[in-house]
Amino acid sequence: MTVHGPGTSGLILDEPLLWEKGKSGRTAFSMPDQDVPEVADRLDDKLLGAGPDFPDLSEMDLVRHYTRLSSWNFGIDTGMYPLGSCTMKYNPKINEKMVTTAGIATAHPLLADELSQGVLQVLHELQYFLGAVTGMDSVSLQPAAGAQGELAGMLIFAAYFREKGEKRTKILIPDTAHGTNPASAALSGFTPVALQSGPDGTLDVESVAVLMDAETVGIMLTNPNTLGLFEESILEITAIVHQKGGLVYGDGANMNAVMGMVDYKRCGVDVMHLNLHKTFSSPHGGGGPGAGPICVVSELEKFLPQPHIVKKDGYYQLEHDCPDSIGRLHAFYGNFAVLVRAYCYILSMGAENLKKATQLAVLNANYVRESLRQALHLAYETPCMHECVFSDKLQQKHGVSTLDMAKRLIDHGYHPPTIYFPLVVSGAIMIEPTETESKEDLDRFIAVFKGIIREAREDGERLRQAPTRTRLRRLDETLAARKPCLTG
């Protein structure tokens, strides 16, 4: 029996550009005649130009246009979004509602501290919550995204060694680190040194010991790493780095796998960032906004971005007098609405349910891993955390690639998982179901994927033509990357 996902061939509505829809004389609204006489000496038309040629449209034209465009979007509210490394989880609508309340939505960033006690309290308490979740001592909410949090961490590394009078130029970055780590390090003046993972997908302690020297500031460690595996030797690794006078940066992009389970300070991490738009309930994708708070141990607190939110004598305030700070990273104080969503998420979940969310995310990923391991080549035997990584090794003999299978998933109504990343796995297929999906949803996804794998054996050409049920067929992605058309 053929198993189908939530997608069918159904109504696929095309939609032209507004300029193609417009017809002279149509109007979407009417306004009363103006009672102000026209000014005779208008500016010369040559100065103003002819102006844009807006199309004439009816209200129905506009409503249908934007409704049809919205039907082309796919998000977690549409269906399963198993994009590995990205943690595309459901964001409870109560958090969206709280962000739109008047006291939050209309708070002006230039108001004095005494007129902003409520919102400053929210931010101050969020700092505390994130410190409690990670085990770190102090938190700045200012970085606007994960990559900026990384940059802040590297700037803190630089400030720390500058104060000590040490000239260190290198930093260790594993091949299983988050993809933006090398750029963040390079922007801060450090030369990335590649650190190869071992055959089990995790770091070898000896390889760290060999490369860690007096010219190296430390290591940027993603844990769980981008293979979805926990670095079980983290205590030995951080001890080696600290013995050589270095610092440990923990990339917290994969925090959804370890909330309430791991104390990063006890693991030896000195600085880490979090992606609130991955783990703590903000919509992820579409270019942002996000938030990348940075957490540090007490020794590095003075270097945090300014202003810092503090509470003195029961009064919340922005502290600007921070002579050792790396400075301001963002206008005002971070992406406020994103921070409020995270605050609401943590309060509504509570410590017990934050931990449960992590446990369910790990359970779901391992369920997918065990269910597909006979049909797809499993990259590593090490038990996974929040995501599992397969490859197309078994399908290559049928002339079917990872890309073909991903495109075929679209026909069944699923957003494809992450493919060809991480680079350490050839033909990688990285699936992260998060805690969002029920067992029934996972079973349906697994059955569809197994059906696609069966197709690969029986009718590889069909997969190579996928997708076939979409508004557009397979695009030339190489040409699109090399010669993008940005004008519509």
* DSSP code per residue over 225-257: -TTS---TTHHHHHHHHHHTT-EEEEEETTGGG
Residue 47, both tokens: 């100065």
CATH 3.90.1150.10 residue window(s) in the chain: 358-472
Residue 432, both tokens: 């992260």
CA torsion sign, 207 to 209 to 215 to 219? Answer: positive
pLDDT digits (tens, 9 = 90+) for 338-368: 999 999 999 999 999 999 999 999 999 999 9
pLDDT digits (tens, 9 = 90+) for 173-230: 999 998 899 999 999 999 999 999 999 999 999 999 999 999 999 999 999 999 999 9
What number is the average pLDDT over the span 75-91?
92
pLDDT at 268: 98
Q: Name the pLDDT band for 319 (thresholds 50, 70, 90).
A: very high
Query: Nearest Cα to 156, choosing from 218, 222, 234, 241?
Result: 218
What CATH number labels 358-472?
Answer: 3.90.1150.10
Instruction: Tell me the C-alpha distance between 451 and 298, whole Å.
Output: 53
Interstrand relation of 247-252 and 216-222 (parallel, antiparallel or unpaired)? parallel
Report yes or no: 202 and 229 within 8 Å, Cβ to Cβ. Answer: yes
- Tell me: domain 94-348, CATH 3.90.226.10, correct? no
Q: Across-strand partners of 172?
A: 193, 219
What number is the average pLDDT over the span 422-432?
96
Cis link prior to 467 (omega < 30° from 0)? yes
Report yes or no: 462 and 455 within 8 Å, Cβ to Cβ. Answer: yes
Angle at 289 between CA 417 and CA 311, to 5 degrees: 125
Instruction: Tell me the C-alpha distance between 53 and 71, whole Å.
Output: 27
Phi, psi dihedral angles at 447 (to 5 degrees): -65, -40
Q: Across-strand partners of 389?
A: 430
Question: Burial letters for 274-298: b for 16+ Cβ neighbours within 10 Å, e otherwise?
Answer: bbbbbbbbbbbeeeebbbbbbbbbe
Phi, psi dihedral angles at 462 (to 5 degrees): -65, -40
DSSP helix/strand/coil, 430: strand
pTM of the model: 0.91
H or E element that contains 46: helix 45-48
Residue that wins the pLDDT comparison between 483 and 9: 483
CATH 3.40.640.10 residue window(s) in the chain: 94-348
User: CB within 8 A of 166, min separation 6: which ones?
Assistant: 245
